[in-house]
Structure 1
Amino acid sequence: MRIQKKSALIAAPLIVIAGLGLWYATRPATAKLAAPTAIPVRVVAVTEKDVPRYVTGIGSVLSLHSVVVRSQIDGVLTKLLVKEGQLVKTGDLLATIDDRSIRASLDQARAQLGESQAQLQVALVNLQRYKLLSVDDGVSKQTYDQQQALVNQLKATAQGNQASIDAAQVQLSYTQIRSPVTGRVGIRTVDEGNFLRMADAQGLFTVTQIDPIAVEFSLPQQMLPTLQGLIADPKNAQVKAYIGADTDGETGNLLGEGHLTLIDNQINANTGTIRAKAEFNNAGQKLWPGLLVTVQIQTALDKDALVVPPTVVQRGLDQHFVYRIKGDKVETVPVQMVYQGSGQDTITGVNAGDVLVSDGQSRLKPGSTVQVLTDPPQVVQSGAAQ
């Protein structure tokens, strides 16, 4: 009995070992490790071209001349000869004021001048007669001197009458209100029949010049030398105005192209900015006083610059770099960022024609195997009908 138990104890491990050997002998062969999968990427070639540099800022459109039309005399507004929004030229008649009392004063001054001139004429004749008589002592020296004084008095009176006429004519001219500038009439504040006073601060309406027009903007104080160089060379001081544009001027509508005309005489110490002004021809009236616009100024032109899309350049811990295609692998190349703007980056450190990775960098490392995709990326539509 003991011998059977002992034999069983010895046989059990042998059976297990035999089973393991049979399984190992009959198990399928292990598949070899697959080769590394190529990483799909998209690429672009480095191009060489002239790249303009720009500086941008936010500006406000200003009229070169905006005048509040006011009455220079007290009187009743008899006629308004223009409509709101109408374009007028310098000297155009805008409105008239009741002039009857001023015309009466003018007629009175003219009558007084005629009377004084008649009296002066008689006095001059008598003076000439007394002068001849005084030679033979026909009249006394005192009489002659008195007549000379009367002539001088009448001359002064005539001059005073003429001054009254001139003053009345000036007052009469104020009854016709004419446009001081060429521009557009604004919203009126009075109607015909209202009594106008010189002290009225509100005025009748405004006349605002629209063409040409100006844009005032502010730039960092570091731009002062650049602005000074531009204003010294007017042909290069070109300024563009956009509405709805971002800081690169890449989007939005171009409203006009003008030129830099003025740099303010001091820098704002609180903001560290300097104000400048540009003038625009505005025949299409796209620029409107008070409108906020994005101003773009070309400050330089980089000749034969190396240009790539913004997605190519990657940011490292201490420098920028790009992935360059070398055969079916990639290598990292450190680059220097020269200029960013207008949807393209100017860099150095690569050569024109180099093929760089523009999409798919997140999975790359130096030496990675890549597969260059040529088809455009597919657009995945969500919420498709079942």
Structure 2
Amino acid sequence: MSDASPTPVKRPRRGRILLLIVVLALIVAALVHLLWPKKPPRAAAPQVVTVATAVLGPMPEVLSELGTVTPTATVTVLPQLSGYLTSVGYREGQDVQKGQFLAQIDPRQYQINKQQAEATLAKDRASLAQARADLARYTQLNERKSIAEQTYSDQQFLVQQDEAAVKVDLASIAQYDLDLTYCHITAPVAGRVGLRLVDPGNYVTASSSPGIVVITTMKPTTVQFTVPQDSLASVLRRMNGGASLPVTAYSSDNSKKIATGTLYAVSNQMATSTGTVTLRATFANDDEALFPSEFVNVKLLVDTLQNAVLVPTPAVQTGAPGDYVYLVNANNTVSVHKVTLGPSDGKNTVITSGLAAGNIVVTDGTDRLSDGAKIQAAAAKNAAGGKTPSTSAAGAASSSSGQQKSAPGAAAASASAAS
């Protein structure tokens, strides 16, 4: 056997070439990816919103409260003495006048008592006449010193006693006359009687419950309601200035206007448990539309703000910044703008600070917006609700930039979406 060593095997160069090609291809691909111009990212579509223009106008300052119809008088007619009812002179639900007959108590016992008092009066008057005649004789005898001084003095006292007895008798007769008057029960006030509480034949006693009848005044009437203590100062300021504040009553569902009256009284104390004070308004109620103890919605017109900045109420948002609106900028974008709110009538809201007349705000579509978002205005309205000719929001905003740099100005009233 030969001792020759094995011949070494050489690695083929073909694998190296393939590896080199792959590396070069990766380098070229990376360079192409880095150097090739990229397409600009597609911009987000602008949000379609509804906008409106802030305007100057009047705004009534109205307090809306829940009220109760409170009659000026509710009287329970009670008997003043005891006896059987012989008749009842009213019909249930009837309107009665002051002094009208309501019921009759049997007067015979009181008539007898009066006759006895009159007899006693006649007797005491006769005694008084005799005592006065004796006093006249005793006076003459006393002047002549013919009787004792004690006798004369006793006769004077006797005359005074008889005079007092006559006065007692007269008072008794007057009392029985009053009792006879009380037997004939009449209406103490004008109004409407309720349901019958007693019938003829019932025995009633003085001040017995439930009484003879309840009378409630229907016209005029009042409505009682409360206002919060924060609103009291403006009400008192207007009343102390001599202003007559109108009050309007609406139905319980606020769908129908019932009557119009005037505020006439403010309570002298505030309820500490609720922080409210009670007010009362008077109503003529000629048509009797306001019914006693009925619940009504009350609107008190305290004042009217003139030349106030008005925006539609849907434009006002509340969130982390507080009260704010989305203000339309000159480049068709919106920005969050904090505002201070004033009174509102439900349709429009007063902006006391933060906006000026002519500024454009978003009224619909705010749930999809954020600060700096692009918008496309669908329509432009002013705070009064009127539409304006369609133009771009940016054009409307730029035309008003001379009035206010931070937001579109008064000329933006013609703003709307580009078609």
Q: Which category of TM-score, normalised to the shorter sequence, fits these structures?
A: 0.7 to 0.9
Give the match for residue 359 of structure 1: 364
Give the match for residue 46 of structure 1: 54
58-67 or 307-316, larger mean C-alpha shift:
307-316
Give the match for residue 325 of structure 2: 321
Does the aligned pair in 1 maintain the 2:76–2:212 contact within 8 Å?
yes
SS for the counterpart of 1:174 is helix
Distance 1:222 1:367 in 2: 39
Distance 2:319 2:172 in 1: 86
Q: CA deviation at 1:333?
A: 6.0
Does the aligned pair in 1 maintain the 2:60–2:301 contact within 8 Å?
yes
Instruction: Give, as a single letter, the amino acid of the residue that structure 2 aligns with 1:178.
Output: T
Taking the TM superposition and a 5 Å limit, the aligned residue runs for 1:92-107 are: 92-107=100-115
CA deviation digits over 1:128-170, x for unaligned, max 9?
1232233334555444334333322221221121111111112
Q: CA deviation at 1:288?
A: 2.2
CA deviation digits over 1:246-299, x for unaligned, max 9?
6xxxx443433220402242432x333333333333222222221122222233
CA deviation digits over 1:213-270, x for unaligned, max 9?
2333333333343344344245244333322256xxxx443433220402242432x3
Instruction: Give, as a single letter, the amino acid of the residue that structure 1 aligns with 2:107.
Output: D
Give the match for residue 196 of structure 1: 204
- 2:84 corresponds to which of 56, 64, 76: 76
| Seq. identity, % | 29
Q: 1:84 to 1:310 in 2, by over 3 A?
A: same
Instruction: Give, as a single letter, the amino acid of the residue that structure 2 aligns with 1:69.
Output: V
Taking the TM superposition and a 5 Å limit, the aligned residue runs for 1:296-307 are: 296-307=299-310
Q: CA deviation at 1:36?
A: 7.9
- 2:376 corresponds to which of 370, 376, 381: 370
- 1:312 corresponds to which of 309, 312, 315: 315
Does the aligned pair in 1 maintain the 2:59–2:343 contact within 8 Å?
no
- 1:284 corresponds to which of 265, 269, 287: 287
Give the match for residue 180 of structure 2: 172
Distance 2:200 2:366 in 1: 74
2:248 aligned with 1:271, yes or no?
no
Distance 2:137 2:58 in 1: 95
Does the aligned pair in 2 maintain the 1:227–1:263 contact within 8 Å?
no
Q: 1:234 to 1:67 in 2, by over 3 A?
A: farther
Give the match for residue 253 of structure 1: 257
Distance 1:161 1:369 in 2: 100
2:118 aligned with 1:110, yes or no?
yes
Does the aligned pair in 2 maintain the 1:120–1:151 contact within 8 Å?
yes
Q: CA deviation at 1:335?
A: 4.6
Distance 1:350 1:271 in 2: 35
331-340 or 102-111, larger mean C-alpha shift:
331-340
Give the match for residue 169 of structure 2: 161
Instruction: Give, as a single letter, the amino acid of the residue that structure 1 aligns with 2:219.
Output: D
Does the aligned pair in 2 maintain the 1:219–1:274 contact within 8 Å?
yes
Distance 2:252 2:330 in 1: 42
Aligned residue pairs: how many?
A: 339
Q: 1:182 to 1:295 in 2, by over 3 A?
A: same
Distance 2:364 2:101 in 1: 67
CA deviation digits over 1:75-126, x for unaligned, max 9?
1112222222222233332222111111111122112212221222232223
SS for the counterpart of 1:192 is coil
Give the match for residue 182 of structure 1: 190
2:223 aligned with 1:215, yes or no?
yes
CA deviation digits over 1:183-235, x for unaligned, max 9?
22111211122111125221111111223323333333333433443442452
Unmatched runs of 5 consecutive residues or more in structure 1: 1-32, 377-386
Does the aligned pair in 2 maintain the 1:256–1:287 contact within 8 Å?
no
2:64 aligned with 1:65, yes or no?
no
CA RMSD of aligned residues (A): 3.2
Instruction: Give, as a single letter, the amino acid of the residue that structure 2 aligns with 1:283.
Output: D
- 2:298 corresponds to which of 288, 295, 299: 295
Distance 1:371 1:135 in 2: 123
Give the match for residue 7 of structure 1: none
- Provide the TM-score with structure 1 as the length reference: 0.76
Instruction: Give, as a single letter, the amino acid of the residue that structure 1 aligns with 2:376.
Output: V
Unmatched runs of 5 consecutive residues or more in structure 2: 1-40, 386-419
Q: 1:35 to 1:98 in 2, by over 3 A?
A: same
Instruction: Give, as a single letter, the amino acid of the residue that structure 2 aligns with 1:336.
Output: V
Q: 1:170 to 1:47 in 2, by over 3 A?
A: same
Give the match for residue 397 of structure 2: none
Q: 1:267 to 1:374 in 2, by over 3 A?
A: closer
Q: 1:213 to 1:236 in 2, by over 3 A?
A: same
Q: CA deviation at 1:312?
A: 2.4
Q: 1:256 to 1:85 in 2, by over 3 A?
A: farther
